[in-house]
């Protein structure tokens, strides 16, 4: 009996450590999907000090939100507002979890997202996503690869890499470094005028980078009968927007709740 009790305790601890990484961070996307029947509502705000973004404003702020639902096990979809330094617009995403760490030693998902505003803000975009992740005790690693193709007559293509590396202090608190890098790989948009009087070759960049330390905390469980798992996330870092020569401070704050 003692052996059985010890075995059950160890098995429960191993299952907890092998639980799927089913929550998106602020920049990278989760390699697992929530449990069947979960509805997750998220909202957030992003601020940047860039003076070369939308309408050349000194400071910018954007509000985003998504509603996600897992109607069947391993399949999740969401709709909402997608934001990247410079522009935002509606988006829709579908993901399917192919592997789980509990059974296969790795969380792995594939998905498709449609955005009305792509890497080129004048066209929409369809993105194809692969997300992988694993927990090694308290260490958590996530990597995303994304390929995007413009719609609406645009012929541009881009690739995107996202990554998160962090330490899980408990089941509710996680901190680490989150990052996103996106670059054009075909039919680059040409800029014919220099920025702020600088030579064209040195005035703009053809990639978009955001990186910084991030913290996530599930501050409450089982809020009433319907709500559960209230999570807040925050990131403070730097951004290098495409089409500029500036490096800007950026801050992101979000909250999500499950039904």
Domain holding 200, by residue range, is: 2-258
Q: How confident is the model at residue 11 (pLDDT cuts 50, 70, 90)?
A: very low
| Structural contact between residues 251 and 213, judged by C-beta atoms closer than 8 angstroms | no
254: domain CATH number is 2.40.160.40
Top pLDDT among 255 and 189 is at 255
Calpha distance 242→252 (Å, rounded): 19
Tokens of 108: 């792995």
Phi, psi of 83 (to 5 degrees): -130, 140
Which distant-in-sequence residues (6+ apart) come within 8 Å of 243 by Cβ?
Answer: 52, 86, 191, 195, 204, 205
What is the mean predicted confidence (pLDDT) over 76-100?
87
Name the more confident of 166 and 200. Answer: 166
CA dihedral defined by 136, 137, 138, 141, rounded to 10 degrees?
10
pLDDT of 59 reads 61
* Number of domains making up the chain: 1
Q: Any idea which residue has 């792995």 for tokens?
A: 108
Determine the pLDDT at residue 156: 87
Residue range 122-164, pLDDT digits in tens: 788 999 999 999 999 999 999 999 999 998 777 889 999 999 9
Indicate the pTM of the whole model: 0.83
Place 243 in a pLDDT band, splitting at 50, 70 and 90.
Answer: confident
* Distance (Å, whole) CA 144 – CA 129: 7
Residues facing 76 on adjacent strands: 95
Question: What's residue 84's pLDDT?
Answer: 61
Q: For position 187, what pLDDT does the model report?
A: 62
Q: Which residue has the higher pLDDT, 115 or 62?
A: 115
Separation CA 254–CA 233 (nearest Å): 5
Does 250 have pLDDT greater than 50? Answer: yes
Contacts of 124 (CB under 8 A, 6+ apart): 89, 114, 115, 116, 117, 118, 150, 151, 152, 154
Hey, which of 14-18, 88-92, 170-174, 196-200 has the most confident mean pLDDT? 170-174
Quote the tokens at residue 120.
């080129």
pLDDT range class, residue 73, cuts 50, 70, 90: very high
Of 52-61, 71-80, 97-106, minimum mean pLDDT range: 52-61
């Amino acid at each position: 009996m003692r052996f059985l009790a010890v075995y059950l305790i160890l098995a429960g601890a191993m299952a907890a450590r092998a639980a799927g990484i089913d929550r998106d961070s602020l920049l990278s996307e989760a390699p697992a999907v929530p449990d069947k029947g979960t509805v997750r509502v998220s909202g957030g705000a992003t601020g940047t000090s860039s003076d070369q973004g939308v309408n050349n404003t000194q400071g910018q702020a954007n509000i985003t939100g998504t509603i996600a639902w897992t109607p069947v096990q391993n399949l999740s979809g969401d709709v909402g507002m997608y934001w990247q330094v410079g522009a935002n617009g509606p988006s829709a995403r579908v993901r399917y979890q192919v592997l789980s760490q509990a059974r296969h030693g790795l969380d792995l998902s594939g998905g498709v997202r449609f955005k009305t505003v792509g890497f080129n803000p004048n066209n929409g975009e369809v993105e194809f996503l692969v997300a992988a992740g694993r927990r090694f005790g308290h260490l958590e690693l996530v990597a995303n690869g994304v390929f995007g193709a413009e719609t609406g007559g645009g012929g541009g293509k881009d690739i995107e890499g996202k990554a998160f590396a962090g330490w899980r202090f408990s089941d509710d608190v996680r901190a680490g470094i989150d990052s996103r890098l996106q670059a054009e790989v075909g039919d680059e948009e040409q800029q014919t005028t220099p920025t702020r009087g600088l030579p064209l070759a040195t005035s703009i960049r053809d990639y978009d980078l955001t990186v910084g330390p991030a913290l996530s905390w599930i501050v409450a469980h089982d809020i009433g009968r319907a709500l559960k798992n209230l999570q807040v996330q925050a990131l403070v870092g730097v951004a290098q927007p495409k089409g500029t020569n500036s490096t800007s401070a950026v801050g992101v704050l979000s909250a999500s709740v499950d039904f």
